[in-house]
Each structure stands twice: as structure tokens, then as C-alpha cells.
Structure 1
């Protein structure tokens, strides 16, 4: 069973544990590093601020175990940015990633949604395409990333959660 739970600043310890696990498991997938979020950077205040500054953060639970995470915010142009997406290795291919993307799309409420993805992360690119995202060129943040966008008109496509039955 998959459950999506939105986080608040008081949930910082859960976010911290999963985020550090994500940065350890897939260091090349993120703009941040584990070193930046451990040691002197590993403070309760910083974790609470992250959950405050980014207005939408969820953890996806699979069979009662925290198995994935994603965040989102609205940029200056009104586009929702999907960020910090990760699924634990034990839960990949079980619909956790689909649930995470669907949570962001629901939160977006009809606004366009954008993201950046590493060019060699074919599994993630396939996931995002399944949810209506299209390639929009090179990411302005990283030459090794592609920009993907899902337009507001994509709200007319069938609910992406139907894809949760398929592999991530």
C-alpha cells in the first residue's frame, strides 16, 4: 500500500533521514551534496527552514516504510518546480515515484510544472514522460541536465495515478 504524507517543519527529522539517504544513494542526481547536509550543515534549524522555505514536501510510504520523497515550489513565473525527488532502492518499480509525481501535480492545481533531470537518468525521464512532461531543452542550471515541462493544458489527460500500477 502506498501513502503520501505532506510534511511540516516539525517533521524535520524524517525529512533529514530520507534526504541524507537520498544524497548518499544517488549523489550525482542532486544539486546538493551529502557533505553540505552533514557535519556543520546538519542542524535542526536548517532542516526546519528547508521544510518552511519549500512550501510542498512529501514523503511517500510503501507498506508502512518511508520509501520516497519530493518537494515543490512556485517560481517567479508561476511555474511549479518539482525538486528533490528520490525513491529508495527497495521501493523502485512499485509505484512510489508515480505517487510522488502525482502529489506534486495535484498540489500544482493546474499550473505548469517544470523540473530538471540528469541526461543519463533514463528511468526518471521515462517516469516524467509518462506523467505528461516533455523535453524543453538544456537546463539553465546544469549542462548535464535536461529541462522538462508539463503544461497547464495537461490537466486534461487522464489521472497520472493510473500509471502507478506500472513500473517506475
Structure 2
């Protein structure tokens, strides 16, 4: 398995795995499948190359994308883990931990000591996984942009000092 930053040549891989993620877990992300599918090839190229607001990493097995994660600097200048997803056949392996580790490195490499994410506490498997990765819940809530009936709770990871 290889985990690396996406680049412009990966735009089709990024598009496919992102759309697969949105089909598999439509209530886990802030964007709908229909919205993402409507993006142009140029928009996907910009995302993959990092010309957009987010930085994406891919987990690859024999050249096939099996997972992705993104990092973005929020409006409050805080790095956030976004778009985290692993294909079902690769869950429970080291893929997810590797993706989260890559986004932690990205955050620290950009001078940040914290990384945040938002997750539904009802998604017990994801919440437990993030706790294993050193995240803890904060008393901060928001609604899922793509489905306002879903409440998300913020989690934070703090780099060791």
C-alpha cells in the first residue's frame, strides 16, 4: 500500500473514489453525490493538484485508489480533516490510520499543532477509530451541510509537544 499526495495526473482516480465514497456513505459528507458528479474535469484536476482549497491524499494498492482523505484550512484558520473514506474491503487495515497520519503530517508541516474533524457521534465505528488516532470530542456541534437533520460533533487532535 502507498499513501501519497494526489497530483493533477490523479484527477480521475480522485473523482472516482470521491464519488464512490459519496455513494457508499451519503450522509457522512458535506456534499452530495449529485453535486460532486456535476463538477467538471477541470475542477477535479484543480482539486487533485491542490489548486483548490483542499489538500488530498490517496491510498493506493497496485495503482487502485482504496482510500482518500483531505485537509483544508477552515475559515477560522484551523486545519481540518475532511473527506475521509476507505473502500469497505480495506477497512480494518492500516489504510485509514495511514491516511489520517498523512493529514496530521500536513497540518504539522504547515505550522499547526491541532487538527480537527467533525463526525456524527452516532457513527460509533468512526468515532472509535478517531479516538484510537488520538482525537477527542469537543463540546462543539454543527449540522451536516448536505443533510441539516444530522448533527456532527467536533473532535480535535493535538500534536505532542
Q: Does 1:155 align with 2:160?
A: yes
Structure 2, gaps ≥5 residues long: 145-149
- Between the aligned partners of 1:65 and 1:12, the Cα distance in structure 2 is 13
Query: Structure 1 residue 62: deviation in Å?
Result: 3.7
Query: Structure 1 residue 103: deviation in Å?
Result: 0.5
Aligned CA-pair RMSD: 1.8
Q: Does 1:46 align with 2:43?
A: yes
Query: Structure 1 residue 63: deviation in Å?
Result: 5.5
Q: 1:146 to 1:68 in 2, by over 3 A?
A: same
Count the aligned residue pairs: 151
TM-score by length of 1: 0.81
Query: Structure 1 residue 5: deviation in Å?
Result: 1.6
Q: Does 1:6 align with 2:5?
A: yes
- Between the aligned partners of 1:12 and 1:59, the Cα distance in structure 2 is 11
User: Residue 80 of structure 1 contacts residue 112 of structure 1 at CA under 8 Å; is this kept in 2?
Assistant: yes
- Between the aligned partners of 1:66 and 1:4, the Cα distance in structure 2 is 10
User: Residue 68 of structure 1 contacts residue 88 of structure 1 at CA under 8 Å; is this kept in 2?
Assistant: yes
Q: 1:63 to 1:44 in 2, by over 3 A?
A: closer
Partner of 1:17: 16
Q: Find the residue that maps to 2:160 and give its secondary structure.
A: helix
Q: Find the residue that maps to 1:10 and give its secondary structure.
A: helix
Structure 1, gaps ≥5 residues long: 157-168
> Which aligned segments of 4 or more residues in structure 1 are displaced greater than 4 angstroms?
none
User: Residue 62 of structure 1 contacts residue 96 of structure 1 at CA under 8 Å; is this kept in 2?
Assistant: no
Which has the larger share of strand?
A: 2
Which has the larger share of helix?
A: 1
User: Residue 47 of structure 2 contacts residue 55 of structure 2 at CA under 8 Å; is this kept in 1?
Assistant: no
- Between the aligned partners of 1:66 and 1:112, the Cα distance in structure 2 is 27
Q: Does 1:56 align with 2:55?
A: yes
